[in-house]
Structure 1
Amino acid sequence: MLTAAIRDLHLNYPGKFISDVRTSCSEIWENNPWLTPLEIEDPEVTILPCSYPLIHQSNELPYHFIHGFINFLNHELGLQIQPTAFKGDIHLSALEQSWLPQVAEITGEDNPFWIIVAGGKFDYTAKWWAHDRYQAVVEHFRDKIQFVQVGQLDHYHPLLDHVIDLRGKTDLRQLVRLVYHAAGVITPISLIMHLAAAVPSKPGLPPLKPCVVIAGGRESTQWEAYPNHQFIHTIGALPCCAYGGCWKSRVLPLRDGDEKDQPENLCVDPVGFLPHCMDMISAEEVIRRVELFYQGGILSM
């Protein structure tokens, strides 16, 4: 999201600023044309710790995450930046685009594939969906769609059957390139969802990446959803998310000392280990949303 704000800063105010960033995800910024190397110690450099307080009004106001850092920069710098695109701003070099896909290195064939994220972080178990339902989706498309499973090994990503297993085998830049080559993505609300919008597509694939998001009722649709994604939500269908996202963190306490174990951060009506909102989403619904991209002609088997 910060990549979008930096892009829009320069497009709205050409030649007025020079900018550099220090973030925990430096790989996201590789090949970024809007950055100029700056030294923190330079007395002419202003250091601006960025945040997106707009998220605290995301249930009530019609803003997307794309507006978060833009709104912050406008407030801090007295600007009137307007978004120029409904996506983040990630750039691949011509050399990166020429490299053989990581999947092709494994299979020996450069065939279409979908990325699947079947899990999540332990600090936000309210985003998880059932493993057996992910497996049902994979089985339905067996021999039709090759799925590639990704995820960090220190998060919850149990292995699915009949997928190419790249869990723990991609750094962040490799993940960007994987999204570049992918025909589509299935994921809960996650980094991959935002990459699906921000990373350009390989020539021959749809310019807007097909993406099915298993969202439930945790986060407001207007804050998270991208126009071309199939965003499966339950906002308005349950008392706990009747007026917007509940923003709960966990289904059950993990007893790890994290504040996310506090009662106000726990789901109020779980179904076993799933939030009620995620339990309401069936494997058949996810399958149907994937099939829409093929039935409509955006993709072909």
Structure 2
Amino acid sequence: MTASVEVFDRHRRLLFTVAYQMLGSVADAEDTVQDAWLRWSAADRTGVADPRTYLVQITTRLALDRLRSARTRRETYVGPWLPEPLLTGAGPVASAPPEPDPDECAELGEQVSLALLVVLETLSPAERAVFVLREVFGLPVAEVAAALGRSEAAVRQLAHRARSHVDARRPRFDTDRQAQQEVTERFFAACAGGDVEALLAVLAPDVVLISDGGGKARAALRPIVGAEKVARFAAAIAAQGAAIPDLRIEIVEVNGCPGIVARVDGAPFVAVSLVVADGIVQQVLVVRNPDKLTGLAQP
């Protein structure tokens, strides 16, 4: 039993990331990993030559089942739906954040960014699974086919379709982490100071702000488009937040990038992620639904 626990724990982070990429939900990803453990612990493992491949297959199938049922629930969701943000750093981001370890690059930066997860929401469940396994984790076609129970030819077709779809819709993304940090700090300072002009200077003319309250917190029911509208909305929200007792706001690493998280009495209250390109903000993604903030709990 101890050996099986050790093997599973060795791959737990990978399994969580696969499930999170497919579901866009921290809670559902954690539940999927737990279900995978139950399957693993009850299975006859004598014929399992590659535990990693076997566990990824189990997790993928479980996540696919959850994804299909989740899509039905999201049809009645109040307002725009955004993925759940995930705290990927332990504390405030330094002014010059260190480069990520190459071995962890599949779990950082654009690969887990909220912007990419938003685009993945537009894929079919099978396309999303293939994209995650092939494009994000680089699994061989044969392994992906085995995980999905499809032929290799079908997987290649799904991969081509998913890649084309994502490439056409994903926003431009600045890979310079220092630039992301600086723009995030400028956005944060402008919001905190209620400085609309400073906000306009850091926003792209066609910037889009999407806020997710899920009917449980105040949020815009439609995307807000345009620098002027976004700047005034952000400044107004910041002014309202300033009146909340015990509100603490900091820049931390969210989904592999600098993000803004506000807490009240230590509990996550709102998360803001920015999509930065060419030194300005292209998208502002605001998550206020309290049910979606569990992934921001500090360790």
**Which of the two has greater helix per residue?**
2
Range class of TM-score, shorter chain? under 0.3
**Which of the two has greater strand per residue?**
2
Instruction: Give TM-score, length-normalised by structure 1.
Output: 0.26
Instruction: Give TM-score, length-normalised by structure 2.
Output: 0.26
